[in-house]
């Protein structure tokens, strides 16, 4: 569903009053109406126009995969405008959180070596509507079960800051109380380290969370794992984060995928500890999830525990992420259409 600005313009051009925009958003986002026939508060003639010109959702479900325990639901979605496919994932955590992981692009140009999306290459940016509709899709889906979406993470396919404007517009749309009204504090943007995006975000005045995919505290190794590190070196990345923290006073999180024998050595744990010491940050260790076409292996549990213990000696808060959805290829890094 389009955002309030777009709808206002649409109705103005069609010669209808602006309050129709609020009404339509309310019908879809709050009442859960999925087709115009059910919106009896709109004039019949207007419903015909809307039906022809403005689909309620810009994407449609092609396939659903469910984890056997019901904790994860992955959907393959088809973009109505050109048939491109993307994936979005719903995670149902034991603590009650209902988190949607959304894609921001079809494919990704960054090409991280351990990521299935990176293997696909880049096709196109998603529109703000296609991004926000992944959340709306699950909101509508969960209504039948009496559940609500609580969180959104931009950790699906694509690099959000390579599609900055659409991503920010989607965030504002999702946040809009006339639409879904999701708290900005409950949304997390994850970037492979696009410095310009981090600096821009610092000036948005939004309470969203920022996650940075670090994966190595050392430039040389980081560059091997993530080619984008050559364009945005670690020093520049750290300066941008420091600028961001000064501006927003918000805690950033660093993502660190644990690859056996590659970036899980104790010496790197010390380097990571030194790098993060004193920063307003949190480190998330992500045990590597299997993807085709590379030789990486997940670090052993002992190495992960030891790595974590060492980083903690630098007074850096650190946790190991529980990865849901590996069985259905829905975990971090496994999304590819």
Question: Catalytic residues, which ones?
Answer: 87, 332
Closer CB to ligand SAH, 7 or 257, in the complex = 257
Closer CB to ligand SF4, 117 or 248, in the complex = 117
111 binds ligand SF4 (CB under 6 A): yes
Nearest to 250 by CA among 218, 284, 203: 203
Closer CB to ligand SAH, 191 or 248, in the complex = 191
Cβ 314 to ligand SF4 shortest distance, Å: 26
Structure tokens at 144: 């039948």
Closer CB to ligand SAH, 3 or 159, in the complex = 159
The interaxial angle of helices 164-175 and 128-143, nearest 10 deg, is 40
Candidates 83-91, 104-112, 132-140, 290-298: pick the segment binding ligand SF4 (CB under 6 A): 104-112
Contacts of 183 (CB under 8 A, 6+ apart): 175, 207
Structure tokens at 139: 């909101």
User: How far from 229 is each of 39, 164, 183, 195, 238, CA to CA, in Å?
Assistant: 50, 18, 31, 10, 12
Cβ 182 to ligand SAH shortest distance, Å: 19
129 binds ligand SF4 (CB under 6 A): no
198 binds ligand SF4 (CB under 6 A): no
120 binds ligand SF4 (CB under 6 A): no
Per DSSP, the residues of 44-92 read HHHHHHHHHH--S-SEEEEEEEE-TTSSEEEEEEEETTT--EEEEEEEE
Single residue of 159, 248, 262, 310 touching ligand SF4 by CB under 6 A: 159
Structure tokens at 57: 């959702």
**Strand-pair partners of 319:** 284
Q: Choose the contact partner of 166 out of ligand SAH, ligand SF4, none; CB within 5 to 8 A by kind.
A: none
User: How far from 285 is each of 81, 101, 133, CA to CA, in Å?
Assistant: 38, 18, 30
Please count the residues of this chain forming the interface with ligand SF4, following the rule CB under 6 A: 10
Q: Choose the contact partner of 111 out of ligand SF4, ligand SAH, none; CB within 5 to 8 A by kind.
A: ligand SF4
Q: Choose the contact partner of 289 out of ligand SF4, ligand SAH, none; CB within 5 to 8 A by kind.
A: ligand SAH
Query: What character string, x for contact with ligand SF4 (CB under 6 A) and - otherwise, covers 204-243?
Result: ----------------------------------------
Single residue of 39, 89, 91, 110 touching ligand SF4 by CB under 6 A: 110
- Report the C-alpha gap between 138 and 260 in whole angstroms: 35
Nearest to 193 by CA among 145, 255, 136: 255
Spatial contact of 244 and 199, defined as CB atoms under 8 Å apart:
yes
* Residue closest to ligand SAH when measured from CB atoms: 333
Cβ 314 to ligand SAH shortest distance, Å: 21
Contacts of 309 (CB under 8 A, 6+ apart): none
Spatial contact of 206 and 184, defined as CB atoms under 8 Å apart:
yes
108 binds ligand SF4 (CB under 6 A): yes
Cβ 160 to ligand SF4 shortest distance, Å: 9
- Report the C-alpha gap between 156 and 179 in whole angstroms: 22
Which residues sit at the interface with ligand SAH, rule CB under 6 A?
A: 112, 114-115, 155, 159, 190-192, 213, 255, 257, 286, 288-289, 291, 332-333
Single residue of 1, 182, 192, 234 touching ligand SF4 by CB under 6 A: 192
- Report the C-alpha gap between 161 and 109 in whole angstroms: 12
Q: Choose the contact partner of 87 out of ligand SAH, ligand SF4, none; CB within 5 to 8 A by kind.
A: none
Binding site for ligand SF4 (CB under 6 A): 108, 110-112, 115, 117-118, 158-159, 192
């Amino acid at each position: 569903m389009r955002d309030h600005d777009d709808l206002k313009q649409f109705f103005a051009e069609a010669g209808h009053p602006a309050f129709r925009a609020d009404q339509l958003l309310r019908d879809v986002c709050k009442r859960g109406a999925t087709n115009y026939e059910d919106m009896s508060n709109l004039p019949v003639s207007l419903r015909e126009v809307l039906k022809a010109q403005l689909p309620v959702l810009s994407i449609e479900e092609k396939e659903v995969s469910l984890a056997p325990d019901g904790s994860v639901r992955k959907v393959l979605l088809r973009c109505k405008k050109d048939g491109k496919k993307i994936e979005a994932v719903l995670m149902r955590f034991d603590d009650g959180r209902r988190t949607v992981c959304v894609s921001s692009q079809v494919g990704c140009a960054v090409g991280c070596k351990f990521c299935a999306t990176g293997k696909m290459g880049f096709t196109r940016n998603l529109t703000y509507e296609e991004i926000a509709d992944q959340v709306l899709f699950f909101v509508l889906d969960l209504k039948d079960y009496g559940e609500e979406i609580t969180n959104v993470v931009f950790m699906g396919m694509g690099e959000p800051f390579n599609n900055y404007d659409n991503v920010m517009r989607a965030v504002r749309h999702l946040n809009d109380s006339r639409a879904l009204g999701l708290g900005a504090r409950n949304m997390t943007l994850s970037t492979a380290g696009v410095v310009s995006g981090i600096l821009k975000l610092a000036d948005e005045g939004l309470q969203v969370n920022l996650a940075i995919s670090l994966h190595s505290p050392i430039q040389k190794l980081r560059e091997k794992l993530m080619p984008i590190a050559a364009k945005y070196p670690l020093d520049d990345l750290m300066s941008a984060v420091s600028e961001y923290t000064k501006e927003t006073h918000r805690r950033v999180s660093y993502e660190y995928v644990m690859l056996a024998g590659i970036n899980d050595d104790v010496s790197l744990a010390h380097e990571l500890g030194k790098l993060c010491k004193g920063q307003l940050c949190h480190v998330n260790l992500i045990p590597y999830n299997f993807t085709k076409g590379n030789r990486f292996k997940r670090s052993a549990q002992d190495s992960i525990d030891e790595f974590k213990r060492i980083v903690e000696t630098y007074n850096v808060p650190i946790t190991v992420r529980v990865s849901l959805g590996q069985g259905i290829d829905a975990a971090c890094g496994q999304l590819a259409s």
